[in-house]
Amino acid sequence: MHPLIMVSLALLIETVASDQPKQVLPGCNYTCGDLTIPYPFGIGNSTAQHHTPCYMDSKFELTCVNNSKLIRPRGIEVLDINPQGQVEMKFSVSHLCSNGSSSSNNTEEANRAYLIVSPHTISSTENKFITVGCDSYGYLNSNFTGGTYSTGCLTRCYDFKPKIVIGNNTGKCTGLGCCQVDIPSSMKNITIEAFKFPTSTLSKENSCSYSFIAKQGSYKFSVDHINNLPNETFPLVINWAITNESCQIAHTTNSYACKKNSECVDDDPDYDGYRCKCLQGFEGNPYLPGGCTDIDECATKTHVCKNKANCNNTLGSHTCFCPKGQTGNGTKEGGCQKVHLNATRIVLPTVLGAGALFMIFFLIYQRRKFIKLKEKFFRQNGGSILEQKLLQRKDSSQIAHIFKENELRKATNNFDESLIIGRGGFGTVFKGELDDNRIVAIKKSKTIDESQIEQFINEVDVVSQINHRNVVKLLGCCLETEVPLLVYEFVSNGTLSEFLRTQGKTNDLTWKTRLRIAVEVAGALSYLHSAASIPIIHRDVKSANILLDGTNTAKVSDFGASRLIPLDQTEVATMVQGTIGYLDPEYMQTSQLTEKSDVYSFGVVLVELLTGEKPFCFGRPEERRSLATHFLSCLKKDNVFEVIQDGLWNEENKQVIMEVAVLAANCLRLIGEERPSMKEVAMELEGMRLMDKHSWINADLNVEESPLLAS
């Protein structure tokens, strides 16, 4: 091929590629007929990335038929896609026509219109529900949280006079032969039904009833439509969201969809979930890997400057300036004025120079003061003690990292509140990204007792050496702040408490997952009690302190209330701390903290896994407020399966669930010495998981005692 032709062809290909809108993944078809398809929606797979779908997930998958018609699953035609969160599609009319007889048995044609848009919702602001006909009424039915709800409207023509309708109602749907109502928010799966009143005033004529949802302004009423509506479908608008999660929860997941220079939006009640939008000053598709790009306000004439020459584009914004020799702010309102030179030629530079020199000295002074303050906090928080301990450590792989404050400020965008992933009695937890791209959880404690600094450093030293797959890893700390910061590995899938309250499925697979989680938590606590270099009592075992990763593997977290136990002691006297519903009654009475206090709290977690209920709730009847008390009462009366979560048990797993219930009862004994150790509990649960029989099922349950109310 001639070199000139090759160059021309290359330029042509480059030009075509540059014309492709930045709304789709590379190698993806972005049109179907006259429609443009923005990501996260898409058709088929990418030609640039083998087997990579052109859509985010299955709910955004579309099909292009004959390169002219865009189709959703179930064959619904898509008319338009708005990247900001709406899709326009065709939807059928429900109709009922009769042959003029007053008997309802002479119905010639009747149908219903169905539509499933879950997990998206039907827009309540962009659509209307409409019924057309005489002596007609229509229902719009939908399901919400297991119940069926309906709305609708009716029209009656007791004295049908087309002239009145034609003169006063053409093009309008106001009740004369046509009625309309608003759509409720958050409708997903709907059924539309058209009906006629049994004794129609138009019984001598063929008559029809029509009911449908239509985009506002898409339907114009005419009297001819009463018996012959020409349309079989109308455009309808749905609201789409990425998932039904809130922004706060979505931020903590690996599937968070909002990319660079974009923000999460979940404040519209008409949407069930969150969407993404570009930050102000940016444009593009916030879901694509590259995120949104900067708008050059100077080039697009969206600036506020006097003219383009006075405009300087910045990331996400722009600034205005005046050229050398002029004063002013360079804006359209302020403008620029020439400087009249006189004595200011000499005086102004002198003043500016002196001012600049003063600022330099001031900044140096402030920096030195800031460095000294950091050094003070470092010494005050036991930094020297920790450095000595780390130097004595032989295994370098187990050494806790001492982070600089500016590292953690950069990782959390200066502790931006939008990155908060948890709050508790001991502090706030932020999600952060270190310079090496590691995602971490940074705990900012509220206070620390200066008299306990040496113990705190000792705990950091010991806990950082814990290397167990079911214990959240402490990576290090920062001691340059007034209150130390702790840095942990980031666990992506929320807490066990959230898992139990939001799981929709309660089948056998979920029970196996719950039993595995129980085995993992018990193993972790057993390790802390007996295998760590110094035994550790967690002191605040609860479902909210058990994190789950992407595979629902459990990781015990939050050692803010933990206590190290010297090897020659079995109990420690402490001020009672913990969470209502989980507290060991013996610990509350004696203030003596032992390993068996963790066993009691773990017993409550086991009951949560069995029942799905909160450990304590004032909204329940008095006898059921304490979950542990109510559970033991049911076990004693031999009706424990009344409190097991609906759908969790079946004939195959009933025996194992009963064994776990008995094990939980043993953990909840009032006297700590009568409770099993965490090592024994872990072995029992592992045995149950392997479907082996264990020794406690035939033992005397001895559940006649009732635990004290954990309050």
- Known binding-site residue numbers for ATP: 444
Q: Which amino acid is present at 259?
A: K
Query: Which residue's structure tokens are 């306990």?
Result: 452
Spatial distance between the Cα atoms of 425 and 422, rounded to a whole number of angstroms: 10
Q: Spell out the alpha helix ranges (H) of 552-703.
A: 585-590, 595-611, 627-636, 654-667, 678-689
The DSSP secondary structure of 5-21, one letter per residue, reads HHHHHHHHHHHHHHHS-
Q: Of 611, 641, 629, 619, which is closest to residue 501 (Cα–Cα)?
A: 611
Q: Of 439, 546, 542, 551, which is closest to residue 488 (Cα–Cα)?
A: 439
Spatial distance between the Cα atoms of 402 and 386, rounded to a whole number of angstroms: 9
The backbone region for 581, taken as left when phi is positive above 0, alpha when psi lies in -120 to 50, beta otherwise, is left
Helix (H, G, I), strand (E, B) or coil at 446: coil
Q: Of 701, 629, 631, 693, which is closest to residue 662 (Cα–Cα)?
A: 701
Going by DSSP bridges, is the β-strand pair 94-98/86-92 parallel, antiparallel, or unpaired? unpaired
User: Residues 6 or more apart from 676 whose CB is under 8 A from it?
Assistant: 599, 663, 666, 667, 684
The count of residues in the chain is 711
Structure tokens at 459: 């705990």
Other beta carbons less than 10 A from residue 303's beta carbon = 23
Burial zone of 465 (CB within 10 Å; 0-12 exposed, 13-18 middle, 19+ buried) = middle
Task: Write phi, then psi, for 517 (nearest 5 degrees).
Answer: -60, -45
Query: Which residue's structure tokens are 């048990």?
Result: 649
DSSP state of 418: G
Cα–Cα separations (whole angstroms), residue 532 to 156, 347, 488, 527, 567: 80, 72, 18, 6, 11
Other beta carbons less than 10 A from residue 297's beta carbon = 21
Within 13 Å and on the Cβ side, how many CA atoms surround 106? 13
Structure tokens at 136: 């007609």
E-assigned strand segments in 266-304? 275-278, 282-283, 293-294
Q: String of b and e for 545-579 (b: at least 16 CB within 10 Å)?
A: bbbbbeebebbbbbbbbbbbbeeeeebeeeeeebb
With beta carbons less than 8 A apart as the criterion, state whether 360 and 352 touch.
Answer: no
With beta carbons less than 8 A apart as the criterion, state whether 72 and 90 touch.
Answer: no
- Extract the annotated binding site: 444
Task: Write phi, then psi, for 222 (nearest 5 degrees).
Answer: -140, 150
The DSSP secondary structure of 189-203, one letter per residue, reads EEEEEEEE-SS-TTT
Looking at the DSSP bridge assignments, the partners of residue 47 are none
Q: Which residues are catalytic?
A: 540
Chain mean position to CA 149: 28
With beta carbons less than 8 A apart as the criterion, state whether 430 and 419 touch.
Answer: yes
User: Residues 6 or more apart from 283 whose CB is under 8 A from it?
Assistant: 292, 293, 295
Q: String of b and e for 418-432 (b: at least 16 CB within 10 Å)?
A: ebbbbebebbbbbbb
Structure tokens at 623: 């006898």
With beta carbons less than 8 A apart as the criterion, state whether 575 and 561 touch.
Answer: no
Structure tokens at 508: 């056998």
